[in-house]
Amino acid sequence: MNRQIVKLFGFIVVLFAILVGFTSYWAVFDAEALKEQEANKRPLLEQQQIRRGRILAADGTVIAKSVAKGRGDERRFVRRYPEGSLYGHPIGYSFVREGDSEFEQFHNDQLVGEESEFSSILDELRGATQEGNDIVTNIDPAAQRTALEDLEAEGFGAVVAIEPSTGAVKVMASNKSFDPNRVPFELEQLNRNVIETPLLNRATQGLYPPGSTFKVVTAAAGLESDVIGPETTIDAPGTLEVEGQPLNNDFSEDFGPIALDTALTNSVNTWFGQLGQQLGNDQLFETMEKFGFNSTPPIDLPDDQVYESGVYGEDGPLSARDPVDLARVAIGQERLLATPLQMAMVAAAVANGGELMKPQIWKRVVDPDGRVSERLDPSEYSQPISAESAAELTTAMEGVVSEGTGTNAAISGVAVAGKTGTAETPSNRACGGGLDENQAWFIGFAPADDPQIAIAATVECTEAFGGDVAAPIFRNVAEAILNGE
Amino acid sequence: MISARNRELTALVPVAVLLTAGFAAVFAQENTRLDNLSLIYGAYFLAVCVAAHIYLRIRLPDADPYLFPLVALLTAFGLVMIYRIDDSLARDQANWFVLGLILFALTIQFLRDYEVLERYRYTIAAAGLLLLLAPRLPGIGQQVNGAYLGVKIGPLAFQPAEFSKICIVVFLASYLREHREVLIVGARRVLGVTLPPLKHFGPMLVVWGASMFMLVFIRDLGSSLMFFAAFLALLYVATGRFSFVVIGMAMFAAGAWFFASTVPHVQDRIEIWLDPYASPTGSGYQILQSIFAQADGGLFGKGFGQALITIPGTDDALLPAAQTDTIYSLIVNEVGLFGACAVVLIYMLIAARGFKIALLASDGFSKLLATGLTAVFAIQAFVIIGGVTRVIPLTGVTLPFISYGGSSIVANFVLLALLLLISDRARREAVEPGGRAQALGEA
């Protein structure tokens, strides 16, 4: 029997070696991934014992702060949001049980003062307590308030305002918003609310048909590829037969041969449909992708909370190789879906002479001693179009506001460039299934000759046109920003 | 040459020092009482251990010198961990430690001729099965987390499976000692597979039936697994037929699969094991938190008393059942991978000593009994550590000598007493002049 006993012991040794192997895996090799798990509250619990840094608006308004509760070993910090739902998006929330989201999640390491492994060990030896850094954002409180109040008056939707030269995000409002202070008590109700979806940041997660605002991208592709010049005319009949279905202008109006200015000012579908067909898949998709389509926008929010814009097939955005109805993509229809952030990036790129800057919400990080430890260094994302094409496009977009579909966006004494959009969304369940529901859009920038702000505004489920509901929101928000400076 | 008992005594001193240091660390963390209380605890622990040692010196002078210090080390470690969770629990545990030592001494006193157990093997088997059944009996049975594990008679509550495992091993060792020859000789090959003779295999089927019974009526996957594994280990050692083990495993797997798909509790346990993230705040909470606690520990751990067990500011458990089921995760959390490896190593050393006793023993019953007791002990450690590290489904089995729980401590001290009884005789025979196996070496 002795031989079997020795073998049995060998087997037991193998079993124990498996235990050591699994323990090593959890404790060391997989430890980092486990700490990232949503269900793992330990990192947050440890963090609540340090004072998390504040989040401030550009003017110093406190958006989020931590207050101490209890004392001694029991002392912990709880997050407070003095402005309530105004900054529900894009700031998000951070609580121990409920986890964190949006800006709070993305900038977590800075807010808790996370340092390199080595220096934190040194701190521990010195007995120093870890302290969080404050983050000052680019958000303009007056404009943010204007945007959210306007949206609340008009319906669900979003507004994004970006400073074209730096990519600084000055407004990101999403209606329906939520009060982060209520998250510990109502997270489940908020999650269950699939009609208002208050936790969804519509600015980055709302995928909407962009409608005619997308004509700016089509025009940019045309100019950039020299398929058209500013004077090139295309004959624009009232109706065009595309893929067996008629493509109409509003009221089937026949414009005859016209150039870009007239086509954009009157948002002529048959003109842009033909331009799209002349461009071809490769050219249109190349320009789209340079504007940021088919990628997660490079903003400082968690990747899973920022959606890609593009022509959505069964398995996500399609590429230039996939067959699409180019004429309808060119006028923002087909299966094309875009986020308000993406359309604001289009406006910002045109405004900035064709150079698209990375949109960023944060501005600077201030350490516990009051020193600025990091400062936003504006960086280029891409150069979708040349300065020349941008100038030509700007002229055309000015026509939209001065004499076209976007006159409601006009600001007295300031030249405004923009584009309206009204995508029909009949039988949309989110809108209650009505047949006359539209997705109303306005994108643009001001002043046209020296752009300080580029804005995308959109309203869901409205029976009105982009020029009637979205353009006034653009105007109010732009005024709030321009007056503040 | 140092005698066995002197070696044992020498080994107990560092154990007591470790306990003292452990308590000192916990006190230092609590910042409140950095006085000589840890020294008092250390001295008290050493005194109890030395008392047991002196008793061994008198009754079993030749018994294995390392087993008792190794067990004392596990107990000391468990006491520090439990104290760090809740000092009143540690007081209970210390009392049970003393009670365990008393039963340890009584076992040695009254079972000096442990062959007597062979005579009562069917009685013992019946007692073991009755103990298993007890949690389902109306009036005294208790259900814990969907499994029937506990018995409560008046103020006395205990987990009968802990004692039942000893009874079953004693029965199996005795039965297999008598029938191993026929099991080997009577085996025949059918289609290239060696099958045991059916006539003598009846009682073996009873063990399989008991394991299945536990699965269905006690709903205790962990104990079921532990019992059956011990049975297979003994069957293998007794017959040397690996094919029997394979057949046994197939039978267990088939039975477990059948019941897993019919008994909801068992099914749940397996589903949680396969995909704990399906319900991270519900049924998957314990295993996930167990793993997160280990991830939090890393290589060196956070130090005694530093890990989070409850959510600060509340009484909600962050690591559920930290003093029993998931104590190993807490160990990884506080003393890291290195500390946990040390614990696993101690269990392995105990297994090594136990099997060494089986090797040294001259008669079949002693050999099989020592093998069975060692195997069931080692497998119990594997089942719970494997459970909290997601090697196998997590079930409510205690970590021997470390987990909080009177039944576990007391039963495992009885198990240790039996091992030392076998060891004492085996080593005395080995060193006596004319004794058989001088060549087996001094240990």
Q: Give pLDDT tens digits for A165-193.
A: 999 999 999 998 999 999 999 888 888 88
Second-level CATH architecture of A42-129: Alpha-Beta Complex (3.90)
A362 Cα to chain B: minimum distance (Å):
30
Are the beta carbons of A420 and A212 closer than 8 angstroms? yes
Region B280-294 average pLDDT:
89
Residue B146 in this model has a pLDDT that exceeds 80: no
Which of B351, B379, B389 lies nearest to residue A23, judging by beta carbons?
Answer: B389
Fill in the amino acid letter for B299.
Answer: L
Region A199-204 average pLDDT:
95
Q: CB burial class (10 A; 0-12, 13-18, 19+) of residue A125? A: exposed
Cβ contacts of A304 within 8 Å, gap of 6 or more: none
Owner of token pair 């594990």: B149
Across the interface, whether the CB atoms of A42 and B293 are under 8 A apart is answered yes
What SS3 state is found at A107?
coil
Peptide bond before A90: cis, by omega within 30 degrees of 0?
A: yes
Distance CA A199, CA A174 (A): 9
pTM of the model: 0.65
- In eight-state DSSP terms, residue B317 is B
Across the interface, whether the CB atoms of B313 and A19 are under 8 A apart is answered no
Distance CA A210, CA A201 (A): 17
Question: At how many degrees (to 10) do helices B242-260 and B198-213 cross?
Answer: 40
Across the interface, whether the CB atoms of B375 and A8 are under 8 A apart is answered yes
pLDDT digits (tens, 9 = 90+) for A51-90: 889 999 999 999 999 988 876 666 788 899 999 999 999 9
Residue A472 in this model has a pLDDT that exceeds 60: yes
A70 touches chain B (CB under 8 A): yes
| Nearest Cα residue in chain A from B290 | A26
Residue A76 φ/ψ region, left for φ over 0, alpha for ψ in the -120 to 50 degree band, beta for the rest = beta
Distance CA B196, CA B428 (A): 36
Structure tokens at B305: 């008393």
Look at chain B and report how many structural domains it folds into.
1
Of residues B4 and A134, more confidence is placed in A134
Interface test mutation site (partner B, options A6, A12, A76, max chain B beta carbons within 10 A): A12
Mean pLDDT of chain A: 90
Q: In sequence order, what are the beta bridge partners of A157?
A: A175, A459
What does the DSSP assignment read for B140-191?
Answer: TEEEETTEEEEEEETTEEE-HHHHHHHHHHHHHHHHHHHHHHHHHHT-EEET
User: Max CA-CA distance within chain B?
Assistant: 72
For β-strands A239-242 and B156-158, DSSP reports them as: unpaired
A51 Cα to chain B: minimum distance (Å):
15
Most confident stretch, A293-302, B154-163, B190-199? A293-302
B384 touches chain A (CB under 8 A): no
Cβ contacts of B32 within 8 Å, gap of 6 or more: none
For A78-82, A178-182, A468-472, B267-271, which range has the lowest pLDDT when averaged over its residues? B267-271
Domain positions in chain A are: 42-129, 141-483
Across the interface, whether the CB atoms of B295 and A34 are under 8 A apart is answered yes
Distance CA A134, CA A197 (A): 30
Residue A206 in this model has a pLDDT that exceeds 90: yes
B43 Cα to chain A: minimum distance (Å):
30
Q: Which residues from B are below 8 Å from A95, CB to CB?
A: none
A429 Cα to chain B: minimum distance (Å):
29
Instruction: Name which of A272, A280, A277, A159 is nearest A214 in CA terms.
Output: A272
Q: Which residues from A are below 8 Å from B358, CB to CB?
A: 1, 5
Instruction: Name which of B101, B104, B163 is nearest B133 in CA terms.
Output: B163
Across the interface, whether the CB atoms of B295 and A26 are under 8 A apart is answered yes
Of residues B138 and A32, more confidence is placed in A32
Structure tokens at B184: 């080997």
pLDDT digits (tens, 9 = 90+) for B202-213: 766 777 787 777
User: Does a structural domain hold residue B128?
Assistant: yes
User: Does a structural domain hold residue B211?
Assistant: yes
Are the beta carbons of A361 and A299 closer than 8 angstroms? yes
Across the interface, whether the CB atoms of A19 and B355 are under 8 A apart is answered no
Q: Which residues from B are below 8 Å from A15, CB to CB?
A: 378-379, 382, 386
| Residue A279 pLDDT grade (very low, low, confident, very high; cuts 50, 70, 90) | very high
B348 touches chain A (CB under 8 A): yes
User: Does a structural domain hold residue B282?
Assistant: no
Q: What percentage of residues in chain B have a pLDDT greater than 70?
A: 90
Across the interface, whether the CB atoms of A4 and B236 are under 8 A apart is answered yes
| Residue B271 pLDDT grade (very low, low, confident, very high; cuts 50, 70, 90) | confident
B156 Cα to chain A: minimum distance (Å):
34
pLDDT digits (tens, 9 = 90+) for B317-360: 888 888 888 999 999 999 999 999 999 999 999 999 999 999 99
Distance CA B357, CA B64 (A): 8
Across the interface, whether the CB atoms of A12 and B351 are under 8 A apart is answered yes
∠ Cα A252 A254 A257 (to 5°):
145
Which of B233, B311, B389 lies nearest to residue A45, judging by beta carbons?
Answer: B311
Residue B432, pLDDT score = 66
Residue A336, pLDDT score = 93
Instruction: Name which of A109, A111, A98 is nearest A178 in CA terms.
Output: A98
Q: What is the CA radius of gyration of chain A?
A: 26
Across the interface, whether the CB atoms of B240 and A1 are under 8 A apart is answered yes
Residue B273 in this model has a pLDDT that exceeds 70: yes
In this structure, the dihedral spanned by the alpha carbons of residues B266, B378, B359 and B174, taken in order and rounded to 10 degrees, is -40
pLDDT digits (tens, 9 = 90+) for A422-447: 988 877 776 777 778 889 999 999 99
Q: In sequence order, what are the beta bridge partners of A457?
A: A159, A442
Are the beta carbons of A382 and A359 closer than 8 angstroms? no
Instruction: Name which of B12, B15, B21 is nearest B52 in CA terms.
Output: B12
Q: CB burial class (10 A; 0-12, 13-18, 19+) of residue A304? A: exposed
Residue A295, pLDDT score = 94
Distance CA B300, CA A102 (A): 33
Residue A128 in this model has a pLDDT that exceeds 70: no
Cβ contacts of B6 within 8 Å, gap of 6 or more: none
Across the interface, whether the CB atoms of A39 and B281 are under 8 A apart is answered yes
Hey, which residues 206-235 in chain B have their CB within 8 Å of chain A? 233
pLDDT digits (tens, 9 = 90+) for A383-433: 999 999 999 999 999 999 999 899 999 998 999 999 999 988 877 776 777
Residue B128, pLDDT score = 87
A9 Cα to chain B: minimum distance (Å):
7
pLDDT digits (tens, 9 = 90+) for A315-351: 888 888 888 899 999 999 889 999 999 999 999 999 9
Instruction: Name which of A275, A450, A447, A287 is nearest A356 in CA terms.
Output: A287
Distance CA B214, CA B59 (A): 38
Q: Which residues from B are below 8 Å from A19, CB to CB?
A: 344, 382, 385-386, 389, 391
Owner of token pair 């003109």: A271
pLDDT digits (tens, 9 = 90+) for B369-398: 999 999 999 999 999 999 999 999 888 788
Where b means 16+ CB within 10 Å and e means fewer, A129-153 reads ebebbbbbbbbbbbbbbbbbebbee
Q: Which residues from B are below 8 Å from A69, CB to CB?
A: 313
Q: Which residues from B are below 8 Å from A5, CB to CB?
A: 237, 355, 358-359, 367, 371
∠ Cα A73 A74 A76 (to 5°):
110
pLDDT digits (tens, 9 = 90+) for A348-358: 999 999 999 99
Across the interface, whether the CB atoms of A39 and B233 are under 8 A apart is answered no
Q: What percentage of residues in chain B have a pLDDT greater than 90?
A: 37
Are the beta carbons of B89 and B404 closer than 8 angstroms? yes
Which of A8, A18, A38 lies nearest to residue B236, judging by beta carbons?
Answer: A8
For A222, A261, A275, A392, the CA distances from A229, given in Å and listed in that order, are 8, 11, 12, 9
Residue B142 in this model has a pLDDT that exceeds 80: no
Residue A293, pLDDT score = 95
User: Does a structural domain hold residue B168?
Assistant: yes
Phi, psi torsion values for B122, nearest 5 degrees: -70, -35
User: Does a structural domain hold residue B56?
Assistant: no
Fill in the amino acid letter for B293.
Answer: A
What does the DSSP assignment read for A432-449?
Answer: TS-TT-EEEEEEEEESSS
User: Does a structural domain hold residue B170?
Assistant: yes
Q: In sequence order, what are the beta bridge partners of A446?
A: A453
Q: Say yes or no: domain A141-483 is CATH 3.40.710.10.
A: yes
Residue A99, pLDDT score = 83
Interface test mutation site (partner A, options B236, B239, B390, max chain A beta carbons within 10 A): B236
- A vs B, Cβ pairs < 8 A, gives 140
Across the interface, whether the CB atoms of B288 and A39 are under 8 A apart is answered yes
Hey, which residues 288-347 in chain B have their CB within 8 Å of chain A? 288, 291-299, 308, 311-313, 318, 332, 336-337, 340-341, 344, 347
Q: What is the CA radius of gyration of chain B?
A: 22
| Residue B439 pLDDT grade (very low, low, confident, very high; cuts 50, 70, 90) | very low
Cβ contacts of A336 within 8 Å, gap of 6 or more: A209, A210, A214, A310, A311, A312, A329
Q: Which residues from B are below 8 Å from A13, CB to CB?
A: 348, 351
A302 Cα to chain B: minimum distance (Å):
21
The stretches of A127-245 forming alpha helices (DSSP H) are 141-154, 183-192, 202-205, 215-224
- Give the Cβ contact number of residue B70 at 10 Å: 21
Across the interface, whether the CB atoms of A23 and B294 are under 8 A apart is answered yes
Residue range of the domain that includes B182? 119-274
Q: Which residues from B are below 8 Å from A124, CB to CB?
A: none
Structure tokens at B103: 């039963």
Hey, which residues 82-141 in chain A have their CB within 8 Å of chain B? 96-97
| Residue A122 pLDDT grade (very low, low, confident, very high; cuts 50, 70, 90) | low
Cβ contacts of A13 within 8 Å, gap of 6 or more: B348, B351
